[in-house]
Structure formats: structure tokens, C-alpha cells
Amino acid sequence: MERTIVHMDLDSFFVSVERLLNSKLKGKPVIVGGTSDRGVVAACSYEARAFGVHSAMPMRMARILCPQAIYIRGAYDQYTKYSSMVTQIIAEKVPLFEKSSIDEHFIDMSGMDKFH
């Protein structure tokens, strides 16, 4: 049987969680990561991406490209909580999956075409 595997990557997951916790962040450039110049961008909103900011970029460069952004160190306990919630939803809907990181899953959709 041929396998159909879906890679589910929750885009800007940390920013999404921050916006759930603080609705005033919606629509604004938000950057999550190490807040010192030696830190790196863990996630950024689409509003920050419009200025050229991207994940894994040095925070120093992000501050140059988007000084008006809201910089957040991150609430990793909250990210873990929401990641578990997403994983629980996936576990209820598909028979086989693998969680590869806090915001990524591989889902085996083989044989599920009659459900979708």
C-alpha cells in the first residue's frame, strides 16, 4: 500500500500563542525569541516578515529591519500547553501520527480518503 504522509507545520506558532494570550498583539509586527542582540528570532508575525524578518535570523538584524516590532522573550510553558492541545486534536482525528517538534507533526493519511 502506498503511504500518504502530511507534514503539518504550525506557521508562526509562538506568535499565534502570544496573540491568544494578548489580543492587543493582533495585526502588529511581533517577534518572539532571545531579546539580546546575541539572540535569534524563534518566530515572527507576517507583519514583521513584510520587513524582511524571518526565523533563525539574529535578533540584532531583526531590530534593524523592524525596530517598531513588539519583541517578546516567549512563554515556553504556554507554547508547550497549546502544543499539547493541538496534538490531542490530531490524536482524536487520525490513527497514526508523529510529533516531531513543538509545532510540527507528520500525519499518516493513508487509507483515510473516504473520511476527507
Q: How many angstroms separate the CA atoms of 13 and 18, rounded? A: 9
104 in active site:
yes
Written as nine digits, the cell of 54 is: 524571518
Under 8 Å between Cβ of 46 and 11: no
Written as nine digits, the cell of 70 is: 513588539
Q: What share of the chain is helix, strand, coil (3-state, %, to 5)?
A: 35, 25, 40
User: Which residue among the candidates 2, 47, 92, 104 is catalytic per the annotation?
Assistant: 104
Residues with a known catalytic role = 104
